[in-house]
Structures are given as C-alpha cells and as structure tokens.
Amino acid sequence: MNVDDFRASAAAEMPPQALTAPLSALWWDEKGDWTQAHTLVDELETPEGMAVHAYLHRKEGSASNADYWYQRAGRKFHRPTLEAEWQALVEALLKGLK
C-alpha cells in the first residue's frame, strides 16, 4: 500500500485491518474524525504513536500539547504544513508494514 492507496481507502467505512494503531489514527484523521483518531493514540506509549499524537494536537491548535508529545516521541518540533507532516507520517508508517 502506498500513500495514494491509503488515502483512497478512507472512502470505506472502516480502516483496513492490517493497519497499526498510529496508521489507523491517521486514517480516521483523513476521514475528518479527529476524536476517533486521538482515541487510538491517546495512551499509546510508542514513538510512532506519540508522533501521531503530537501531529493531532498540532492540528487541533494546541501547540504546547503538541510540543510535549513531539518531545516524548524524540522528535524536534518543526512546522512543515499539516499535509506534509501527515504524508511523512503515513509514508514512514507504511514502510513499517512491509
């Protein structure tokens, strides 16, 4: 699966079963369901989960909360566009599925 396939899969009612929790969160985010996306990573204590958690709080507009989660994920907080960050996260996480 590539980013285009992943994005297209958001037309379905539910995410593909093979997705990890962070990818599922980004899938729900693509569908516009921030709450469902956040629920999937809210207590996920992995670097990938915390990076997606940070992105979601950044998208929400909570920069201080995003900063906290970027730090927990071991990432420096830089501000590309939200779309660029979403795509980079999806690409990296899809590589991990192979």
CA angle 98, 29, 27 (to 5 degrees): 30
Question: What pLDDT is attached to residue 72?
Answer: 94
Confidence of residue 98 (pLDDT cuts 50, 70, 90): low
CA nearest to 26, candidates 17, 38, 8: 38
Q: Is residue 1 over pLDDT 70?
A: yes
Distance of CA 15 to the CA centre of its chain: 13
For 25-53, write each residue's pLDDT tens digit: 999 999 999 999 999 999 999 999 999 99
Question: What pLDDT is attached to residue 12?
Answer: 96
Question: What pLDDT is attached to residue 44?
Answer: 94
